């Protein structure tokens, strides 16, 4: 029987710590590594990160756009990296931020959440802004495959507020409504459910939101966007136990040396453990 994503994620967080390293091959990072912004550069960058960190970090979040910009050969690099990371015991959250109407959403879900798909991942980031209900095919397939979703609830960028903090007729904000849908999805699951929220670590005090969704909270924004591990308890309060903090550029800029990449990831992992008491 396949264990649920929530169960596998909790074990991975307990064993390796909650850090998620983002794999975002920006052109500027390739350049700072002394690599060309082409398929050979993408391959070298990606496999260096995979080899350096695959056995030690709990969660990886490749950003699909940085691979897609190279067409099918870039996607092939993403496929291989995803398989290699998973084979080394890491969990892969595919950051593709998919979201569409029902039947098309079903096809997106098949691309990332069907067990025999070349891009099968442990979880997928999705956008609920065509309506939470439009995500239903992805929720169903994730359950069937033992995978998870991370639903954009309160994003790290300042522009997100105009949608996510908009107040609905019932007085709740749109973001709070997404959190409530996720709490419902995860009700009764132990040790936690598989349906997570994306909540930026940059957002300051979130005490007006109920972050207790019995599921993971993916928290981007540490490092390049200005948040620090020390911010996590203040931003997330009691929910900090379920936070999976993501660092992309903050770790990646330490390359191309594999030892330097490992040290950067370890430094963040230690600071995070200290801050959240894990």
Ligand X SMILES: O=C(O)c1cc(=O)[nH]c(=O)n1[C@@H]1O[C@H](COP(=O)(O)O)[C@@H](O)[C@H]1O
Q: What is the x/- site pattern for ligand X, positions 152-181, by CB under 6 A?
A: ---xxx------------------------
CB of 224 to ligand X, least distance (A): 4
Question: Judged by CB under 6 A, which stretch of 67-75, 218-226, 234-242, 270-278 contacts ligand X?
Answer: 218-226
- Quote the CA–CA distance of 192 and 181 in Å, as a whole number: 15
Q: To the nearest 5 percent, what fractions of the chain are helix, strand and coil? A: 50, 15, 35
Per-residue binder mask for ligand X (CB under 6 A), 33-72, x = binder: ----------------------------x-x---------
Q: Is 136 a residue of the active site?
A: no
Q: What stretches of 37-157 adopt beta strand conformation (E)?
A: 59-62, 91-98, 123-126, 148-154
Nearest to ligand X of 165, 249 (CB atom): 249
User: What Cα–Cα distance (Å) separates residue 154 from each residue in 18, 65, 74, 206, 243?
Assistant: 20, 21, 30, 10, 14
* Catalytic residue chosen out of the listed positions 61, 97, 136, 253: 97
121 binds ligand X (CB under 6 A): no
Residue 250 contacts ligand X per CB under 6 A: yes
Closest CB to ligand X among residues 174, 188: 174
- Evaluated on CA atoms 194, 197, 198, 202, the torsion sign reads negative
Q: Are 147 and 123 in contact (CB under 8 A)?
A: yes
DSSP 166: -
Considering the rule CB under 6 A, would residue 225 count as an interface residue with ligand X?
yes
With binding defined as CB under 6 A, does residue 246 bind ligand X? yes
Residue closer to ligand X by CB (options 71, 226) is: 226
What is the DSSP annotation of 139-165?
Answer: HHHHHHHT-EEEEEEE-SSGGGHHHHT
Query: Residues in the site for ligand X, rule: CB under 6 A?
Result: 22, 24, 61, 63, 95, 125, 155-157, 198, 200, 220, 223-225, 246-250
Q: Which residues are catalytic?
A: 97
């Amino acid at each position: 029987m396949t264990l649920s994503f929530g169960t596998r994620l909790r074990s991975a967080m307990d064993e390796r710590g909650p850090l998620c390293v983002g794999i975002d091959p920006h052109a500027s990072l390739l350049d700072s590594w002394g690599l060309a912004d082409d398929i050979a550069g993408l391959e070298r960058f990606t496999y260096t990160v995979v080899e350096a960190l695959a056995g030690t970090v709990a969660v990886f979040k490749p950003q699909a756009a940085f691979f897609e910009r190279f067409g099918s050969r870039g996607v092939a690099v993403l496929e291989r990296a995803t398989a290699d990371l998973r084979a080394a015991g890491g969990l892969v959250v595919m950051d593709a931020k998919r979201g569409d109407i029902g039947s098309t959403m079903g096809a997106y879900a098949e691309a990332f959440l069907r067990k025999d798909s070349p891009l099968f991942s442990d979880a997928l980031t999705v956008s609920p802004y065509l309506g939470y209900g439009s995500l239903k095919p992805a929720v169903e397939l994730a359950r069937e495959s033992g995978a998870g979703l991370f639903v954009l609830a309160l994003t790290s960028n300042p522009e997100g507020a105009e949608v996510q903090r908009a107040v609905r007729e019932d007085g709740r904000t749109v973001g709070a409504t997404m959190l409530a849908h996720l709490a419902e999805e995860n009700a009764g699951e132990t040790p936690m459910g598989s349906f997570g929220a994306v909540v930026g670590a940059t957002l300051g005090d979130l005490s007006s939101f109920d972050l207790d969704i019995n599921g993971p909270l993916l928290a981007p924004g540490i490092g390049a966007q200005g948040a620090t591990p020390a911010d996590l308890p203040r931003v997330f309060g009691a929910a900090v136990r379920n936070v999976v903090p993501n660092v992309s550029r903050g770790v990646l800029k330490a390359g191309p040396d594999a030892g330097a990449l490992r040290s950067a990831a370890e430094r963040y992992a230690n600071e995070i453990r200290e801050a959240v008491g894990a």
